[in-house]
Chains A and B, each alone.
Chain A
Amino acid sequence: MSETHLIETHNLSVGFPVGGKIFNKRVLKAVNQVSLSIPQGSFFGVVGESGSGKTTFGRALLNAVPITDGTARYDDGEVSYDLGKLAGSDLKEYRRRAQLIFQDPYAALSPRMTVRDIIAEPLEVMGLCNSREEVDERVREIAGLCRLNLEHLRRFPHAFSGGQRQRISIARALVSKPRFVVADESVAALDVSIQADILNLLKSLQDEMGLTYLFISHDLSVVAHTCDHVAVMYLGEIMESAPTRQLFRAPRHPYTKALFSAIPSLDPDDRGNAQKLEGEIPSPTNRPSGCQFHTRCPFAIDLCRQEEPQMETSETGHSVTCHRWRELQSAG
């Protein structure tokens, strides 16, 4: 394979115990048997409804929740880790190389710290700099890259608007010069006019710093515009995964198609003729048998209810987990 993959997961599962200690003990599988490869230098999108496990997947890759089953590998060319077995100095080094940008820029910044201290904290905690001058220099450098005004460094977060705060939290995530960044709904709390600005900033930082993003979002139009590869999650499993243009031009999974048709069109004359999805996402403690999506799928047959579909990957890198996609494709 010519592409190198920064992250490779194989049947990755994350479960949380729920219910009583002895009786009624169950496991909530938030992520179920996910196999994905994230190419180095890509802007990799994960979309899904709430409860689809996209956040847990991102956290598992950051080693923030324990991986219960399967493997995940990180390999940036310099170091290579098995994320399930990280400990000690390897874990510390991985923390420097993998960072997270949060959703809500109002909750993510401490109101009692100045912007300079917020951005400098990772450097101090990880002991990456030897002197205060060095810390200041790194902070100024990253603040400049994130288009923050240097005079703002002495102020407190409450003085800033949502867009500026999100730039501060991006600066904090990037100050340790990571290779892999998980952006979890990083523009969801922002107004559209600011959202475009932050997306453009993330793109330009990717070019300047050679980053690989895992971009988690529920907004398909945002993902379509920023990501170069998209995976669609439903109930902890990958339903479909493909290069962005392929996915949006010719979606194969009925769930992906339904998601696309649910996006409100900007054309007032194009109202509600699309096929709408009935019902809601089932609870992960009570998974459906067979295909996870069959309870809401308009094309479900007995096979879908009984047998779990396997992921099929075509040469173009388009993967789909559906029994009937070929049939549905040819039927139009």
Chain B
Amino acid sequence: MSLIDVENLTLQFKTDEGLITAVDNVSFSLAPGEVMGLVGESGSGKSVTAKSLMKLNPGNAVYAPESRITLHLDSGPVDVMSLKRPRDMEVVRGGAVSMIFQEPMASFAPAMTIGSQMVEQLLIHTDMSKAQARELSVEMLDRVGIADASTRFGQYAFEMSGGMRQRAMIAMALSTKPKLLIADEPTTALDVTIQAQVIDLMKDLVDEFGMGIIFITHDLGVVAQTADKVAVMYLGKMIEQGPVREVIRTPSHPYTQGLIDALPQLDDLDKPLMPVPGDIPSPLERPEGCVFHTRCTKIIGDVCRTTVPSWADTGESHRAACHLCHQGHRA
């Protein structure tokens, strides 16, 4: 059984310039213990999609009525869209779902110690006593590889290095034993050596706790190292979904292929870097038809400019929203 089902998620923002479609008809599901990589450039809507799972988007967000997000908990299914009051949201926010953010410096309160922030959330979401919460927090800090955890517990965020802060963030997110962890670019602000440590840590923790992870990143290398399956987004649309090996080795959508070709790779230094031509269009001027057609090098005709492509199966649980794939071709 799946852990979370997202169906036809559509989200628009009301702005002075008009309605901006940030997420357009996105559907996916995730099983417990599964890691899904959500890949896309900036402005592709990957963070907004993830935040919708906890309804963390700002007040000007408008969810389309057909959007469905169902979280399957031990106590039964929860319809996230129907939760209105902040009190009801507590089941989801910080309870069943935790989130790790990109910039750990900005995510900790600067005037509270790391420890008091960890204890605070445990007191809200569990029936632990303060002493138990403290004990568990120190244990979690130790578990994520922070040396001298009881001293670190009493320190402030500015006293820690970037890698250590991100570890503390992970410890905090996992201490409530969430069913689903959303990691929004958790390693982007870190150095490669520290990134490798954090990726290893997250893999160990999945094995140990068995939660589902949605791993948002723009780095295909990080996805290849962590995810079981991949979803690629472009301009608010999901354009390819599939198992990680298939998507990276034999991408179906021309955009995914373009992302891989643009990536500098170490095993072939002579390979020229191939940029995806043009820039990502403004969300105010979403192209008609296939959203990618303005930058696509494999346009097959007017159908790309006029008709929104539906999903085409290109392998076992591997599919792409592309007219080319409907004709039996691949990118």
Point out the residue from A226, A258, A264 that lies within 8 Å of B225, measured CB to CB: A264
Instruction: Please tell me which one of the listed residues B42, B161, B200, B244 contacts residue A276 in the complex, with CB atoms under 8 A apart.
Output: B200
Question: Is the CB–CB distance between A222 and B264 below 8 Å?
Answer: yes
**Residues A267 and B266 in contact, CB atoms below 8 Å apart:** no
| Stretch of A64-72, A194-202, A205-213, A305-313 lying at the B interface | A194-202
Write the residues of chain B forming the contact surface with A, with a CB cutoff of 8 angstroms: 41-42, 161-164, 191-197, 199-200, 203, 218-222, 224-225, 244-245, 248, 258-260, 262-266, 269, 272-276, 279-280
Residues of B within 8 Å of A164, CB to CB, are: 279
CB nearest neighbor in B for A277: B193
Chain A nearest CB: distance from B254 CB in Å? 12
Complex contact A265–B275 (CB within 8 A) = no
Contact of B195 among A191, A193, A262, A269 (CB under 8 A): A262
Chain B residues closer than 8 Å to A263, beta-carbon distance: 192, 221, 266
Contact between B274 and A266, CB atoms less than 8 A apart: no
Are A192 and B42 CB-contacts (below 8 A) given A263-B221, A264-B195?
A: no
**Chain A residues within 8 Å of B, Cβ to Cβ:** 49-50, 161-164, 191-197, 199-200, 218-222, 224-226, 244-245, 248, 258-269, 271-272, 274, 276-278, 280-281
For residue B279, which residues in chain A have a CB less than 8 angstroms away from its CB? 161, 163-164, 194
A225 touches B245 (CB 8 A): no
The closest CB in chain B to the CB of A276 belongs to B196
Asked if B192 and A49 make an inter-chain contact with CB atoms under 8 angstroms apart, the answer reads: yes
Contact of B273 among A200, A220, A274, A277 (CB under 8 A): A200
Chain A residues lying within 8 Å of B269, measured Cβ to Cβ, are: 224-225, 244-245, 248
Residues on the B chain within 8 Å of A194, using CB: 41, 275-276, 279
Q: With A218-B191, A220-B192, A280-B161 given, is the CB distance from A196 to B225 under 8 Å? A: no
* Contact with B221, one of A50, A193, A264 (Cβ below 8 angstroms): A264
- Name 25 A/B residue pairs within 8 A (Cβ), A-sorted: A161-B280, A192-B41, A192-B263, A193-B275, A196-B264, A199-B264, A199-B273, A221-B264, A225-B264, A258-B193, A262-B196, A263-B221, A263-B266, A264-B196, A264-B199, A264-B221, A264-B224, A265-B224, A266-B248, A266-B260, A268-B225, A268-B248, A271-B225, A272-B203, A277-B197
CB distance from B238 to the nearest CB of A (A): 18
Contact status A191-B192, CB under 8 Å? no
Of A197, A226, A269, which is in contact with the most chain B CB atoms at under 10 Å from its CB?
A: A197
B164→A266 contact, CB < 8 A: no
Query: In the complex, A200 Cα to B276 Cα: how many Å?
Result: 12
Contact present for A272 and B264 (CB under 8 Å): no
Chain B residues whose C-beta falls within 8 Å of the C-beta of A281 in the assembled complex: 191
With a CB–CB cut-off of 8 A, which chain A residues contact B258?
Answer: 193
Q: How far is the CA of A3 from the CA of B260 in the complex (A)?
A: 37
For the complex formed, measure the closest distance between the CB of B48 and the CB atoms of chain A, giving whole angstroms: 16
Other than A221-B265, A276-B200, give 10 A-B pairs with Cβ distance below 8 A: A49-B191, A192-B218, A192-B220, A222-B264, A264-B221, A266-B263, A268-B224, A268-B244, A272-B203, A281-B191
Residues of B within 8 A of A192 (CB): 41, 218, 220, 259, 262-263
B200 adjacent to A272 (CB under 8 Å): yes
Chain A residues within 8 Å of B218, by CB: 191-192
Give Cα A199 to B149, complex, Å.
43
Contact call B163/A196, Cβ cutoff below 8 A? no
Assess the B200–A225 pair: CB atoms within 8 A: no
Partner of A259, one of B162, B163, B193, B274: B193
Hey, which chain A residues are within 8 Å of B275, CB to CB?
193-197, 200
